[in-house]
Amino acid sequence: MSTATYTVSGMTCGHCVNSVKEEVGQVAGVSDVAVDLATGQVTVTSEAPLDAARVRAAVEEAGYELKA
């Protein structure tokens, strides 16, 4: 298992959290997504290390921005 934490900007409510969880959860290999609205932290657990570009694309598809 591999775990990575990212910071997402623009989330303001529970709907935002659900959108990010849903999109990132669809990335191949992802087994769990935890989102902390207060900090913007998104913790992704996967079977193997993920390409950050795939996570970024999923976050952007949800309508938010992955901070560098």
Domain 2-66 of CATH type 3.30.70.100: yes
Taking only the tens place, the pLDDT of each residue in 29-50 is 999 999 999 999 999 999 999 9
Residue ranges per domain, the chain?
2-66
Indicate whether 21 pLDDT > 80: yes
Alpha helices in 1-68 (DSSP H): 14-25, 52-61
Phi, psi values for residue 16, rounded to 5°: -60, -45
- C-alpha 61/C-alpha 68 separation (Å) is 17
Eight-state DSSP code of residue 43: E
What does pLDDT average to over the chain? Answer: 96
Residues 12, 65: Cα–Cα separation, whole Å:
13
Residue type (1 letter), 46: S
Whether pTM exceeds 0.85: yes
